[in-house]
Amino acid sequence: MRTKYAAILSLLIFASFFCAEKSAEKSADKPAGKVKAVKVWETDAVLQTSESVMYDSEKKVLYVSCINGMPTDKDGNGYIARVGLDGKVLAQKWITGMDAPKGMGIEKNRLYVTDIDRIHEIDMEKGKIISTYKAKGAKFLNDIAIDETGKVYISDMETNKIYIFSGGKLNVWMTSKFKKVNGLLYRKGELVMGTGQGIVIVKTADKKETLAFSNSGGIDGLKMLAENRYLVSDWAGKTSIIGDMPDVLLNTTAQKINSADLEYVPEKKLVFIPTFFHNTVACYKLE
């Protein structure tokens, strides 16, 4: 009898482990839930031709580059605005004296901004431009990424060149074989580029380019969402996830609301989208 009970108990334990294993396999095979972008706020429409958003984690504010005109016009109308995390415009024209400011990058107390064929170095404590550097041969400087040593990488969407600013000098670093090089981000030893063909990874040691994820249409904003997952915008109005488990989060193309060079703050799961000709910044929470 004792042997019979032992056999039954062993059978039950085996069945329990088998069911648990199958359940775990089923859970692992199940795709992750669809990411939703829930709107939190949108600024007043006073950010004229809002092109890019940069989050200052030290001061807990957003900087917004505003072209205030056309992207290649040297009209002196461009400016940088300061916006709170609640959507309130703290200073509409915080920094002026630019033509068509676009991508931005922060290094210590310096804010770097692209401006057609030059970059501006802004002292964030003083709130003013302290230096401007001309990029020889540049046509349409766009985005910025900064590495751990303070080197500033800058994309030129028209020439497909990447410039590098280091030691007070601005020079061409490489010319990409891909077209419409725009959004940039840096991770250790790699420069990630958004291009007209998709997401390209460049090894900074040897400048070798690899197309990581194909994508039709241009990539304006480019941020890391997770390993092998990127949050991108295509300017016309679509905000998407490219990479593993691709997804379209928002598409305001039909409403003629642009999605320019976005910002993502992972610890808050907040996405900030400059709407270009719509003259606002819209904030969404990823759920």
259 and 182 within one domain? yes
Same domain, 13 and 90: no
Residues 10 and 73 in one domain: no
Residue 107 and residue 234 share a domain: yes
CATH of the domain at 134: 2.120.10.30
Residues 125, 144 within the same domain: yes
Query: Are 92 and 152 members of one domain?
Result: yes
Residues 6+ apart with CB under 8 A from 252: 237, 238, 258, 259, 275
Per-residue pLDDT of 79-136, as tens digits, reads 999 999 999 999 999 999 999 999 999 999 999 999 999 999 999 999 999 999 999 9
174-197 residue pLDDT tens:
999 999 999 999 999 999 999 999
Instruction: Report how far Cα 164 is from the mean position of its chain's Cα atoms.
Output: 19
> How many whole angstroms separate alpha carbon 263 and alpha carbon 282?
11
pLDDT at 22: 38
Distance (Å, whole) CA 201 – CA 224: 13
| 43 and 181 both lie in a single domain | yes
Ramachandran sector of residue 191 (left: φ over 0; alpha: ψ -120 to 50; beta: rest): beta
Query: Helix (H, G, I), strand (E, B), or coil: what is residue 277?
Result: coil
Contact 163, 141 (CB under 8 A): yes
Same domain, 262 and 210: yes
Same domain, 214 and 279: yes
Q: Which domain holds residue 6?
A: 1-30
Q: Give me the number of domains the chain comprises.
A: 2
pTM for the model: 0.88
